[in-house]
Amino acid sequence: MNHLDDDAELYALGLTERERDAEIEAHLATCADCRTRVAAAEEAAASLAATLPAMPPPRTAAAPARATARRRAWWPGLASAAAVVFAATAAFEGMSAHSASSQLARTDVALNAIAGSHFGHTTLTSVPGVVAKALYARDGSWLYVVATGAPRGAHVVLRRSMHVTPKGTHVTPDAGATAHPDAAVVDVGVLESGEPATLFVRDVGRAGDIAIVPNGQAVAHAVAHGVPAY
């Protein structure tokens, strides 16, 4: 494929056709010259972004419930996960967006680990009224579960091994585990109350299955369940 030429700048500005974008990213993966050119263009575009006013704060008066309220409720929880990524950029703090030479030098190990391919996320299959999502480190070093509508005090339970439940199918817990929780079932903690309710746990290992279970209930009564794709 030829070099990107003018498309390098147009891409940085979001003005290329979306069908073209995949080709551009594929080319960038193999062409250092075009990566440099696009990175420079993105820095210039980021400088333009510095001229924009901040998003205004929400109106503080009790606003009427909005149709998008539940969907929006994801953000406060996910912001915590976003913070993990942004923490990796702390090295860039105080640095203007166009000192290109120093930026790569300051890129550190955390940036590689976190902003790279090491995240996964999955929406859990859930009972009506519950919406739940899991974000997880692909190496099993942490797990973040966020849920709306889950019963207060619900637990997050992982199963190391279980018969494989294809994504999107119904919960099909194995009877042995539900009746007699054994070593294969790990209770990693209680969802902290809030809307959404959240739980962040470290060093959980890779789970075969993630389930949200009402307090005192068996895994068979999980209100949400999903299989992370490590």
Partner 1 sequence: MALDGPGFDRAYRAHSARLRAVAYDILRDRDAAEDAVHGALMRVWSAGAYRPERGALLPFLIACVRREALDALRTSKRRHLREVRANAGDPVASDDTAAIDPVEARRVKRALDDLPAAQRDIIVRAYYGYRTLAEVAQDAGVPLGTVKSRLSAALRRLHTALSEGSP
Of residues 91-150, those binding partner 1 (CB under 8 A) = 92-93, 96-100, 103-104, 107-112, 114-121, 135
Radius of gyration of the CA atoms of the chain, in A: 22
CA angle 15, 20, 26 (to 5 degrees): 115
Question: At residue 76, what is the residue type?
Answer: P
Please, what is the minimum distance in Å from the beta carbon of residue 224 to partner 1? 19
Q: Is 89 exposed, middle or buried (0-12, 13-18, 19+ CB in 10 A)?
A: middle
Cα→Cα distances 94→40, 91, 97, 98, Å: 18, 9, 9, 12
Question: Footprint of partner 1 on residues 23-52 (CB under 8 A)?
Answer: 25, 28, 32, 35-36, 38-52
Segment interacting with partner 1 (CB under 8 A) among 67-75, 145-153, 184-192, 205-213: 67-75
Q: Is 62 in the site for partner 1 (CB under 8 A)?
A: no
If the CB atoms of residues 69 and 164 are measured against partner 1, the closer one turns out to be 69
Please, what is the minimum distance in Å from the beta carbon of residue 87 to partner 1? 5
| CA pair distance 81, 203, nearest whole angstrom | 16
Query: Tokens at residue 9, please?
Result: 């700048």
CA 186 to chain centre: 23
Q: Which of 194, 81, 187, 190 is nearest to 148 (CA)?
A: 194
Segment interacting with partner 1 (CB under 8 A) among 76-84, 146-154, 165-173, 187-195: 76-84
Q: Is 64 in the site for partner 1 (CB under 8 A)?
A: no
Please tell me the total number of residues recorded for the chain in this structure.
230
If the CB atoms of residues 38 and 185 are measured against partner 1, the closer one turns out to be 38
Please, what is the minimum distance in Å from the beta carbon of residue 1 to partner 1? 17
Please, what is the minimum distance in Å from the beta carbon of residue 220 to partner 1? 30
Residue whose pair of structure tokens reads 């400088």 in the numeric block:
47
Please, what is the minimum distance in Å from the beta carbon of residue 205 to partner 1? 19
- Report the Cα–Cα distance between both ends of the chain, in Å, rounded: 32
Q: Is 82 in the site for partner 1 (CB under 8 A)?
A: yes
Asked if 226 and 165 count as a contact pair (C-beta separation under 8 A), the reply is: no
If the CB atoms of residues 44 and 201 are measured against partner 1, the closer one turns out to be 44
If the CB atoms of residues 135 and 157 are measured against partner 1, the closer one turns out to be 135
Question: Footprint of partner 1 on residues 167-186 (CB under 8 A)?
Answer: none
Please, what is the minimum distance in Å from the beta carbon of residue 39 to partner 1? 3
